[in-house]
Amino acid sequence: MSLELFLLRMPKVELHVHLEGAMRPAVLLEAGLKKWFRFRDFEHFVQVYLTCSRALRDPEDFRLLASDFLTEQAYQNVLYSEVHFTIATHLGNGANGGEVLAALEEAIRDGEKSHGVTMRLIPDVVRNVGPQWADRTLEWALAGRDRGVVALGLSGSESRFPNEPFREHFAAARQAGLHRVAHAGEHAGPPSIRSVLDVCGAERIGHGVRAVDDPALVAELADRGIPLEVCPTSNLCLGVAPDLASHPFDRLYRAGCRISVNSDDPAFFAVTLTREYLRLHQTFGYGAAELAGLSLAALQQSFLPEAERAALEQRFQEEIETLGRDLLGGGVLATVAG
Residues 6 or more apart whose Cβ sits within 8 Å of residue 181: 122, 151, 152, 153, 154, 202, 203, 204, 205, 206, 229
The set of residues, in sequence order, having a beta carbon less than 8 Å from that of 46 and lying 6+ positions away, is 157
The residues annotated as belonging to the active site are 186
Label residue 81 left, alpha or beta by phi (over 0 means left) and psi (-120 to 50 means alpha).
beta
Burial level of 109, CB count in 10 A (0-12/13-18/19+)? exposed
Single-letter code of the amino acid located at 298: A
Q: What is the DSSP string of 205-223?
A: EEE-GGGGG-HHHHHHHHH
